[in-house]
Amino acid sequence: MSDLRVAVLLSGSGSNMEALVRSMTGDHPARPVLVLSDRPEAGGLGRARALGVPAVAVDRLAFGGDRGRFEAALAEVLEQARPDLVCLAGFMRVLSPDFVAGWAGRMLNIHPSLLPRHRGLHTHRRVLEAGEREHGCTVHEVTAELDAGPILGQARIDVRPDDTEDSLAARVLAREHVLYPAVLRRVAQGVRGPLLLDGDD
Ligand code: GAR
C-alpha cells in the first residue's frame, strides 16, 4: 500500500509542523507532501524547506478580506499536492464550513487547551484566570464549529503555583510535539479512539 500523503497548514513558527514531519519516516504509514501558510513571513515555511518539504504561501492579505477567493486559492494549491490528510498546526485562520466540509474526517487540528474547555484564543491566560489546576492540549477532527470536532487525543499537565502564561505556553507546546505525531500515526493507521497522555514527560 502506498504512503498516506499529509499536508500541513500553519501561520507561525511551525514547531508542530517540524515534529510531525520528523515523525513521518521509516515504517510510518504517512509522508509529508506540502506545507502551506496563509502568511508569507511565517517561520514555518523556511523550516519546512530545510526539512526538504515543499512549502508555499497563499498570502491572505492579498485577497483584501475576501474569504471566498482566499479559500479558493488555498484549495487550489492544496489539491495540487493530493493530500489524504490535512493537519492544521498553528493555522490561525477560521476556515469556512464549505471548505471544512470537503475535508470531513480528513482534517486534524491541534489546540492548546483541554477541549471542550477554552475554545479560541489566549487559552493559557484563561486557564490561569480561572484558577484551574490542569491544562493541556487536544488534537481533534476539524468540523464547521470552531475547536469542537471529535477529540482524537489529549495531553494533560498539572498547573503549577508559579506558572505564568509563558511557562504554560512552553510546557503545553512541548506536549503538543509528542501528542500530535502520536495521534497522526494512529489516524494514519486507521485508529480514531482518543489517546490520553498524562504529565509533563
Ligand atoms: C500551538 O501552540 C498551537 O496549539 C496553537 O498555535 C501554536 C503554534 O505553534 N494553535 C492554536 O492556537 C489554534 N487555535 P507552532 O507554530 O510552533 O507549531
CATH number assigned to the domain covering 1-93? 3.40.50.170
Reply yes or no on whether the pLDDT at 1 is more than 70: no
- For CATH 3.40.50.170, the residue range(s) in the chain are 1-93, 110-138+154-201
C-alpha 36/C-alpha 34 separation (Å) is 6
Q: Which helix (H) or strand (E) holds 117?
A: none
In 3-state terms, what secondary structure has residue 66? coil
C-alpha 80/C-alpha 75 separation (Å) is 8
Give the pLDDT confidence score for residue 2 in this predicted structure.
82
C-alpha 109/C-alpha 93 separation (Å) is 12
Q: Residue with C-alpha cell 498516506? A: 4
Pick the residue whose CA is nearest to atom 1 on ligand 1: 90
What digits encode the pLDDT tens for the residues 148-200? 999 999 999 999 999 999 999 999 999 999 999 999 999 999 998 899 999 87
pTM for the model stands at 0.97
Q: Measured in angstroms, how far is the CA atom of residue 195 from the centroid of ligand 1?
A: 19
Q: Residue with C-alpha cell 474569504? A: 67
Give the pLDDT confidence score for residue 201 in this predicted structure.
58
Cell of residue 179, nine digits: 501528542
Residues labelled catalytic: 111
Topology of the domain covering 110-138+154-201: Rossmann fold (3.40.50)
